[in-house]
Structure 1
Amino acid sequence: MRIVQSNLYAYIYVVLLCTLVTNASAQITEVEKHPQKDTVRIRLLNQLSRSFFPKDAAKTAQYANEALKLSDSLHFKTGIMWATRNLALAENIKGNLEKQMDLTVNALKLADELKDDYAAGVLNTDLGNILVEQDQPRQALRYQKKALRIKQALGQPAEIARTLNSIGSSYIRLNKPDSALHFLLESERIKLSLNDHPGLAITYENIGLVYTEKQRYGMALPYFEISEQYHKESDNLNGLVKAHLNIGFAKTMLHRFEEAEQELAEAAQLNSNLKNMKNTLIYHKNMATLDSARGNYAGALANYKQFSRMNEEMFSLEKTKFIANTKEKYESEKKQHENKLLRKEQQLHLATIKQQRILVIFCTMLLLGLFVITAVLYLMYRRQQELYTQLNHRNIQVQQQNKIIMEQNAALESGSQVKDKIFSVISHDLRSPLAILEGLLFLLRDDKMSEEQFRIFSHELWRDMKNTAYMMDNLLQWASSQMKGIHVTPDDFDISTILKSEFELLQSLARQKEITLTHELHRPIMVYADPDMIRLVLRNLISNAIKFTPMNGCVNINYLLLPDKLELIVQDNGLGIAVADQAKVFSNIYYSTIGTRNEKGCGLGLPLSKDFIERNNGRIWFHSTSGKGTSFHFTLPLSAGEETPGRGYTIIVKENQESVVSN
């Protein structure tokens, strides 16, 4: 039965595709038959652009740009408005919601200027839909209800039904299923009377989501299946993918696992052509739910990890788009401000020139006598001196304002770099262990993972969280140094005491990799520096050595006692640093690589350590051979009362044991 149904859908799809191609070809022919560059051609181009939505973003944008260019040349604001709206729809297909929002707002401003109520209703609905996609349903309702009032006043049933459906979507996002169902059923009634199958497909999809929210999956499933049928009729590939995803989830909840898997597989196959990242994200989430429901916990965890990874990628992509859009707006506002200053300066010069012309005319009229001419010239000279003084004074003020603006721009740029680095670390390095922890707790909460399995995963999670804690220390210290500056508080202290405390903190990391930690200090040694800064430097260098040392490796701390300073050496037999990468270690490009057990870093530890050592009148450097290991050296000034070295000790830390050897 399902094979026959699939063949029928395939036949309908081919017929509709041919019809759409024929319609598009007919509209292209109409444009070609009207080559005159007038408002009629502009309307035809906008109609042709709209006909390619949502199937072809490139064609939609191509004809909209042509309409916009012609409308600009003819100063035809109505054509500019609809061309701008079509460009916004093209950005919607690409998933650029921020760009779509800016273009839609510009089109709405033109609609208000032209007092075009129909366009205002359409564009307010578009703004509401964008805000729903951006997960801002409360703001969306304000535009959607305004659009509904406009369309009801104009008596437009099709547009009213479309807006009612949008309002229902907002209430779904607000977790108000009863309110959503009220508007969706009213939208369904109008669309049934109009026989609007494409519109009904979206409405039935939303009604199914309402019943899913209420956990009434048996009632949701028929609506999702009707939505799938209507999406096939209207050749809406994205809607068809979402319908299969919704049907798969509903059947999972109804324990029809084989059918659910088939629906999700069809969604994945269709989306392979569409390449919609959001659909792929929902697919992995639904597959994790399906695998968990039928007891395949390994598959559930794998899909949930894939879901978490893609969710992070989407977050990073949205963040990048947001930052780019913010920078673009900032540059635009900056140029507008500069233009205002230039216009004010130009007006000042014009006013000065106008005054000088008046004075020249006045002098010409007073050429009746030598005495009168002399007096007028004297007055003109005095007036001109005053004007030059004022002009110079104002020029100095403008220069001072420009200097202030440049300093503010530099501060904003520095703050933006700090913010970008913090966002980058949070989105890529700090979210990963939290996502894994969330997945483990998700399985543990529902008793879907044994204690033995949890213990295996918890060791890896503990190591990631420990590395994350060290990254957080570096990130906070770096952010503080960038935003507030660094205040050095030097004092006399025993560096062997700090070294011992840091060894105790790093024992667990070493035991995880069965690495031998040793340090050779024959007696307490007093140095003069900021102890908190030196503690962070030691932690960074030792944890970095552990990070890049393989299992059963060695990390050793040596020292040289010089006449006026102490040289400490942190040496390991790990991976070493490639020659091509050695120049990046202490640079400000925040270079970071993965450790021997996939440990992550944010690239701040070594540049921060270099800064701290130099601020304490020391020097830091390193020697490294790829594949053989690395040794980091740094110096600190000795305390004024430091004596000749005496007897010391060596600490060796291995798995489940600790020993002290006298030297």
Structure 2
Amino acid sequence: MKCNHTTLIFLLIIFSFFNIPELTAQGKKQEILSKITAHRLAGKEKDSSYINLINALGLELRYSNYDSVKILSKEALYLSKKINYKRGEAKALITSSYSEVIACKDSETTLNNIDRAILLSTEIKADSTLISAYNIKAIYKTYVDDYEGAYEQYQNALLLCDNNRNPLEETKLYSNLATLFSILGDSDESIKFYIRALAITDRLDDKFWVGVVKSNLGFLYNDTHQFDKAIIFLDESIQIFIEVDRKEWLAYAYLTKANILLNIKETKEALRYLDLSKGLQKNLIDKKLKQDLLLSYTKYYQQINELEKSEELAQEGYLSSIENQNQILIANFSEILYQLNKEKKNQKEALFYLEKFKNITDSTALQSKQNALALLNAKTNFQKQQNDLKLENQRTIKQQKTYITFSIFIVFLVILIAYYGYRNNNIITNLNHQLEDKTQILENSEKTLKYANETQEKLFSIISHDLKSPINALKNLLLLIKNGDIKPSEFLNFAPKLYNDVDAMSFTLNNLLSWSKSQMNGFVNKPINFNVSEKINNSIQLLQENANQKTISIINSVPKAAEVYCDVNQFNLIVRNLVTNGIKFTPSGGEIHIQAAEEKHFWKISIKDNGVGIPTDVLKKLFKPDSALQSTYGTNKEKGTGLGLLLCKEMVTKNGGEIVVKSTVNGGSTFYFTMHKEPINTN
């Protein structure tokens, strides 16, 4: 049987009254239903106020009944198009899209509907509806892990809020921005946004949003182990949600409170709140919240040592998380299953889940998101500066027009008005110059960031290749032994080669660790006075085995009295990198000579080899990141990335010195670097 839209909405009203018991208990939804019924009896189905009521009811049902929201939105769209009510059409699209995201039914159609709502709201200049559209688009972008897109949409919405001074929408946006930073792992920044949102709620009459912000603050304080603050905010939010009868948020608050109690080992009370949350979730469609509840029950049974029940729930959660492609929950359930299988001494299963857990938690996805967000912040700040300058220009032009109008009535102020006109033109010119300068600065920053990202990608590509090759060789050799293709005694023939590969990997990893620390936090200098000759002897001892394999002599002619003031660990790393390069590019039977010459304020240390030398074209760009990161081979096919020289350059500079190189092809190379005798201001 074919039902038209009017029949569907009527059936929905009957369904709402008789099949959703909690709806009749909620005054706001009951009131909306009563008004819808009154409009129908009066034959006002084609009135804009009737469409607004349908959209309002859909918004109220978005957490509890996806199918009902779909019917309501379809009806609102149909009627809005019929009477050309574009605001109603936009709101229907927003409500439908919001419900689809909550129910995890997002698709390309969802995004198209949101974009259509943005277009309609922009066309009719409905700023409040446009803010809602930007907000739901940002939520959608967050659900599909497009954090840069989400941040951009929130900024668009906030610009509109600045112009319209809408405290409710500002509260929502800052709360959602806080959630975005929480997802990115920046709890401190997230708390700042929630505190800002909480301050705005003082201007609201709606207590519900105070509860929303406080419940989320409770969640974050629990996440950062500030349990006392977390409990205070959660208890306050629970009381608010009970008063305003918002069951979906009450279920979330109960669950968060239960997790806090689990963290402080109050299991009996935690179970009570878990059961309260479970009872409220029966009529909700938020799959994410239900999976979080399942995870909390799993942790509860694990804490009270009912391991079989915990494992049963963990298996259920693990499978549903895979189905919903929720990587965080997959990691959480994998960790619990690893612990449970380890307790049962089921090594095979334990290792399987440990690998799953490690694969997710060890990924670099979070760092990539933070880099993307940093780039987006730069773009957003640039856009905001542009908007500010445009507004300033508009105000200046408006002021100039006022002077001109005023001059028609007061003749004796013509000279003064001309003066102001000239002055304002200069202001506009200066503002335009400032805009051009800032645009150039931001473009340069973007190029610098792009250059750094390309350099890092090149570095990791080379290191990945240089690390995987020896590991695969070792793996294949062990496989031959395992399969009986070679005898254990024959394995000894490969021992020197394996030792060299492992030693090279160790050195590469050590350089990579030092470089990574410098890129993320910068080197932290801890300078002291120490004897140069002693430290160089220590480094030679560490590298003597490598030199012996090529019968290379390393001679330390540094004066015994030479002392410098710098970070000793960085000094050792500089020497080891330069000596290692000398060993690598010097043929068998060669010589490496280390000397030091005393200057007025520093010691000039030189490391000279009689190796193959460096070509002139390579020498010119040796210490530049993009050209230095090249996988090169030594005289015995030793591998390298060029990262060592970059580290040497950074660490010498950080300690207030300089590094240079002189080289002749087939005539050897000499690296010189300086270190100060006494403390200096390295900043």
TM range (shorter): 0.5 to 0.7
What TM-score do you get using the length of structure 1 for normalisation?
0.57
Alignment match, 2:626: 588
The amino acid that maps onto 1:317 is: S
The 8 Å contact of residues 315 and 427 in structure 1, kept in 2 or not, is answered as no
Distance 2:259 2:143 in 1: 23
RMSD: 6.1
Distance 1:193 1:591 in 2: 63
Alignment match, 1:316: 367
One of 69, 87, 93 as aligned partner of 1:45? 93
Q: Any idea what SS the aligned residue of 2:549 has?
A: strand
Distance 2:117 2:167 in 1: 22
State yes or no: 1:250 paired with 2:325: no
Deviations 1:64-106 (A, max 9, x none): 2111111212222222122112212212322445654553354
The amino acid that maps onto 1:469 is: N
Cα gap change, 1:50 to 1:141, in 2 (>3 Å)? closer
- TM-aligned CA deviation for residue 469 of structure 1: 3.5
Alignment match, 2:127: 77
- TM-aligned CA deviation for residue 474 of structure 1: 6.3
Q: Any idea what SS the aligned residue of 1:53 has?
A: helix
Distance 1:208 1:148 in 2: 26
The amino acid that maps onto 1:139 is: K
The 8 Å contact of residues 211 and 217 in structure 1, kept in 2 or not, is answered as yes
- TM-aligned CA deviation for residue 49 of structure 1: 2.6
State yes or no: 1:32 paired with 2:81: no
Alignment match, 1:139: 192
For structure 2, the residue ranges without an aligned partner over 5 or more in a row are: 1-61, 405-422, 468-500, 524-531, 559-570, 594-606, 614-620, 653-657, 673-683
Once structures 1 and 2 are overlaid, which stretch shifts more, 99-108 or 230-239? Answer: 99-108
Distance 2:304 2:639 in 1: 42
Alignment match, 1:387: none
Residue correspondence of structure 1 range 371-382 to structure 2 within 5 A: none
Residue correspondence of structure 1 range 596-611 to structure 2 within 5 A: 604-605=643-644
- TM-aligned CA deviation for residue 265 of structure 1: 1.6
Deviations 1:186-219 (A, max 9, x none): 5445555776543333122112112112112343
Aligned length: 501
- TM-aligned CA deviation for residue 607 of structure 1: 7.0
Cα gap change, 1:425 to 1:175, in 2 (>3 Å)? farther
Distance 1:109 1:395 in 2: 23
Alignment match, 2:105: 56
Cα gap change, 1:37 to 1:536, in 2 (>3 Å)? farther
Residue correspondence of structure 1 range 486-501 to structure 2 within 5 A: none
Deviations 1:412-446 (A, max 9, x none): 4676468658988999999xx9xxxxxxxxxxxxx
Alignment match, 2:414: none
Alignment match, 1:470: 511
Alignment match, 1:92: 142
Residue correspondence of structure 1 range 147-186 to structure 2 within 5 A: 148-151=201-204, 153-154=205-206, 159=209, 161-173=211-223, 175-186=225-236
The 8 Å contact of residues 540 and 554 in structure 2, kept in 1 or not, is answered as no
State yes or no: 1:504 paired with 2:556: no
Distance 1:295 1:584 in 2: 54
Distance 1:204 1:399 in 2: 54
The 8 Å contact of residues 85 and 103 in structure 1, kept in 2 or not, is answered as yes
Q: Any idea what SS the aligned residue of 1:616 has?
A: strand
Deviations 1:619-648 (A, max 9, x none): 469xxxxxxxxxxx844599xxxxxxxxxx
The amino acid that maps onto 1:32 is: Y
Residue correspondence of structure 1 range 359-374 to structure 2 within 5 A: none
Cα gap change, 1:519 to 1:141, in 2 (>3 Å)? same
- TM-aligned CA deviation for residue 222 of structure 1: 4.5
The amino acid that maps onto 1:541 is: N
Residue correspondence of structure 1 range 286-325 to structure 2 within 5 A: 286-291=336-341, 293-294=343-344, 307-311=357-361, 312-325=363-376
Deviations 1:452-502 (A, max 9, x none): xxxxxxxx99997754433456679999999xxxxxxxxxx99xx999865
- TM-aligned CA deviation for residue 147 of structure 1: 5.4
Distance 2:505 2:296 in 1: 35
Cα gap change, 1:345 to 1:110, in 2 (>3 Å)? closer
The 8 Å contact of residues 170 and 197 in structure 2, kept in 1 or not, is answered as no
- TM-aligned CA deviation for residue 250 of structure 1: 1.9
- TM-aligned CA deviation for residue 238 of structure 1: 1.5
Alignment match, 1:618: 663
Once structures 1 and 2 are overlaid, which stretch shifts more, 203-212 or 273-282? Answer: 273-282
Cα gap change, 1:327 to 1:20, in 2 (>3 Å)? same
Distance 2:238 2:93 in 1: 32
Alignment match, 1:328: 379
One of 222, 244, 251 as aligned partner of 1:201? 251
- TM-aligned CA deviation for residue 267 of structure 1: 1.4
Distance 2:91 2:299 in 1: 43
The amino acid that maps onto 1:506 is: L
The 8 Å contact of residues 559 and 568 in structure 1, kept in 2 or not, is answered as yes
Q: Any idea what SS the aligned residue of 1:175 has?
A: coil
Distance 1:506 1:522 in 2: 9
- TM-aligned CA deviation for residue 332 of structure 1: 3.2
Distance 1:192 1:399 in 2: 55
The amino acid that maps onto 2:187 is: D
Cα gap change, 1:113 to 1:222, in 2 (>3 Å)? same
Cα gap change, 1:411 to 1:206, in 2 (>3 Å)? same
- TM-aligned CA deviation for residue 270 of structure 1: 0.9
One of 581, 595, 608 as aligned partner of 1:541? 581
The 8 Å contact of residues 124 and 147 in structure 1, kept in 2 or not, is answered as no
The amino acid that maps onto 2:644 is: G
Cα gap change, 1:473 to 1:85, in 2 (>3 Å)? closer
- TM-aligned CA deviation for residue 244 of structure 1: 2.1
What TM-score do you get using the length of structure 2 for normalisation?
0.56
Residue correspondence of structure 1 range 397-416 to structure 2 within 5 A: 412=445, 416=449
Q: Any idea what SS the aligned residue of 1:34 has?
A: helix
Aligned-pair identity in percent equals 12
Alignment match, 2:565: none
Distance 1:280 1:64 in 2: 30
For structure 1, the residue ranges without an aligned partner over 5 or more in a row are: 1-15, 355-389, 434-459, 483-492, 546-553, 572-582, 622-632, 639-663
- TM-aligned CA deviation for residue 148 of structure 1: 4.7
State yes or no: 1:568 paired with 2:610: yes
The 8 Å contact of residues 134 and 154 in structure 2, kept in 1 or not, is answered as yes
The amino acid that maps onto 2:86 is: D
Q: Any idea what SS the aligned residue of 2:590 has?
A: strand
Distance 2:640 2:277 in 1: 47
Distance 2:63 2:385 in 1: 48
- TM-aligned CA deviation for residue 170 of structure 1: 3.9
Distance 1:196 1:478 in 2: 47
The amino acid that maps onto 1:88 is: A
